[in-house]
Amino acid sequence: MPVSGRETDPVETGLRYLTLGHHLRKVVDDAMTAGGLSLARTKVLQVLERRGALAQSALARELGQAPRSVTQSVEALERAGLVDRTPSPADARTKLVRLTPQGTEALAAGTAAGERVLRRVFGAMDQDRLATLTRLLDDLESGVSGVSGDR
């Protein structure tokens, strides 16, 4: 049903969605950073936890990021003691990035902080609204998949 009896503009709705998504991401990132690990760094550690030791180039592909960006993240994570880099047994020129025990602990703490925020925000909805939102997000994901090749 249109808001205030007028047509709902897809562009206005889309811009509102993007603004809200950006704001939610910042709130989650702030909570995670207060716990010691940003959302971006958490994603790096999550990949390493899931996949094990990886070459930086494979890590970049997995994250969908430029190799240089991943190098900077890995260097910062290494300085913090959350990952280490060792030569690959297959090719000494290639460094493998591995999660350290301290990185595993930081990942658990950061993930818990982000989950607390998401439970607070989305837990405020009853199950019917949450199910509806999930279906709408599925529709949006399909729509994005349909236009992502248009660039």
In this structure, the chain runs to a length of 151
Beta bridge partners of 96: 55, 86
Q: What is the pLDDT along the chain (151 residues), one digit of tens a residue?
A: 455 667 889 999 999 999 999 999 999 999 999 888 898 899 999 999 999 999 999 999 999 999 888 999 999 999 999 999 999 898 888 889 999 999 999 999 999 999 999 999 999 999 999 999 999 999 999 999 888 765 4
Q: What values do phi and psi take at 123, rounded to 5?
A: -70, -15
Helix (H) or strand (E) holding 57: helix 56-63
Identity (one letter) of the amino acid at 23? H
Collect all residues with Cβ–Cβ distance below 8 Å to 101 and sequence separation of at least 6: none
- For residue 147, what pLDDT is reported? 86
- Judge residue 54's burial from the number of C-beta atoms within 10 Å of its C-beta, 0-12 exposed, 13-18 middle, 19 or more buried: buried
DSSP 64-100: T--HHHHHHHHHHHHHTTSEEEEE-SS-TTSEEEEE-
| Residue 7 pLDDT | 86
Predicted local distance difference test score (pLDDT) of residue 151: 47
Confidence (pLDDT) at 91? 87
* pLDDT of res. 2: 55
Residue whose tokens read 């990942």? 107
Distance CA 133, CA 101 (A): 37
Q: Which pTM value belongs to this model?
A: 0.78
- CB atoms near residue 101 (< 10 Å): 9
